[in-house]
Amino acid sequence: MKRVFAVFLITLCATQALAETYVRVEKDGSKTYSDRPLPGGQPVELQPAQTYSAPPPPPIGGNSNSNLPREQRLLKEMNDFRYSTCVLTPQREENFQNPTSVNVAVALQPALRPGDVVDLRVDGATVPGPNALSFAIPQPNRGAHTASVLIKDRYGKTMCTASTTFHVFRASLNSPARR
């Protein structure tokens, strides 16, 4: 118990800037520490506490990967990759009057990476073709339609997601255009 108290006192004393510490050895061999001179005590020179300074963060926009091995650079670039633009057209709430077809397309910046998987859906159904970035809906039915895209990398990590709703209006025989 005395040792724990002694270590506590040493730690406490070490935190005080330029504080002098004194030690006295008792008859039973135990030591007494103090920040004030003790009768029969000797000053103790304490070493400064060990500290750690973290390296500076890499510069923003700089090439901090240049000193890494090629494989580690590629892994870091893969983990840091983001599509800066992921837009689905037609625009949200866009209206079409009697269209012969409506084109649904995904705009990506940068271009689709090899290995990334595109899941483009119109009204919940996957569009035909692997990794299709566009699809033409021939003679779309009237009403609201939804389109969504989900792009994942080869490991299943979501890289891009977007959705839109557009509306198709068609003239009805029950209400012809009024003059």
Where does residue 112 rank: exposed (0-12), middle (13-18), buried (19+ CB within 10 A)?
Answer: middle
Percent of the chain with pLDDT over 70: 79
What pLDDT shows up at residue 157?
86
Give the number of C-alpha atoms closer than 13 A to the C-alpha of residue 132, restricted to the C-beta side. Answer: 16
* 14 pLDDT more than 70: no
For residue range 81-100, list pLDDT tens digits in order: 788 888 999 999 999 999 99
Percent of the chain with pLDDT over 90: 27
- Which domains does the chain carry? 2-44 (no CATH), 80-169 (2.60.40.10)
* 71 pLDDT more than 90: no
* Pairing between β-strand 42-44 and β-strand 134-138 as defined by DSSP bridges: unpaired
Residue 74: its H or E element:
helix 70-80
- Closest to 36 (Cα-Cα) out of 53, 16, 57, 60: 16
For residue range 119-173, list pLDDT tens digits in order: 999 999 888 888 888 889 999 998 999 999 999 988 888 888 999 999 999 877 6
Report the distance separating Cα 112 and Cα 109, nearest Å: 8
Sheet strands side by side (includes 42-44): 31-34, 21-25, 42-44
- Closest to 165 (Cα-Cα) out of 87, 85, 89: 89
Beta bridge partners of 108: 86
What pLDDT shows up at residue 175?
59
Taken in order 112, 109, 147, 97, the sign of the CA dihedral is: negative
What pLDDT shows up at residue 7?
57
Q: Write down the mean pLDDT value for the chain.
A: 81
Neighbours of 13 (CB within 10 A): 17
- Closest to 36 (Cα-Cα) out of 18, 23, 49: 23
* 69 pLDDT more than 70: yes
